Amino acid sequence: DAGVIQSPRHEVTEMGQEVTLRCKPISGHDYLFWYRQTMMRGLELLIYFNNNVPIDDSGMPEDRFSAKMPNASFSTLKIQPSEPRDSAVYFCASSSPGVIPDTQYFGPGTRLTVL
């Protein structure tokens, strides 16, 4: 398996622009997680999905952030409009179904820089 795939790996944009980050989870995994990593705040869970349905979006910082999962093999995280404080590395992770919380497999991340 190719693992979790994220694109783009790097994104540089200007303040006010729309940014879309993409994720393809591991086939068969029905949980998908979006994280943000910064030096100041560490790793933060933004939102997670189960069977394509958003379960908990309490970590989404504000209305400028939105996430969708239109099918089992694709998810997007959108920031509109972007701000310099959104600069961070964004990770997508997926895990397989199970009775207990299972291992989360992380993608390589998207490094976002907002100028």
Partner 1 sequence: AQSVTQLGSHVSVSEGALVLLRCNYSSSVPPYLFWYVQYPNQGLQLLLKYTTGATLVKGINGFEAEFKKSETSFHLTKPSAHMSDAAEYFCAVNNDYKLSFGAGTTVTVRA
The CB-of-66 to partner 1 minimum distance in angstroms stands at 19
DSSP of 53-66: EEEE-TT--STTEE
Report which of 21, 27, 11, 81 is spatially closest to residue 46, judged by C-alpha positions.
21
Which residues, at least 6 apart from 108, have a Cβ–Cβ distance to it below 8 Å?
4, 6, 9
Residue range at the interface with partner 1 (CB under 8 A); choices 15-23, 48-56, 61-69, 76-84: 48-56
Q: Which of 45, 66, 74, 96 binds partner 1 (CB under 8 A)?
A: 45
| Dihedral sign for Cα atoms in the order 38, 41, 47, 48 | positive
How far apart CA 1 and CA 92 sit, in angstroms, is 16
Amino acid at residue number 110? T
Hey, which residues between 81 and 110 contact partner 1 (CB under 8 A)?
Answer: 91, 93, 95, 100-101, 103-109
Q: Judged by CB under 8 A, does residue 20 bind partner 1? A: no
Nearest distance from residue 77's CB to partner 1, in Å? 15
Q: Does 5 bind partner 1 (CB under 8 A)?
A: no
Residues that bind partner 1 (CB under 8 A): 4, 31, 33, 42-43, 45, 48, 50, 55-56, 91, 93, 95, 100-101, 103-109
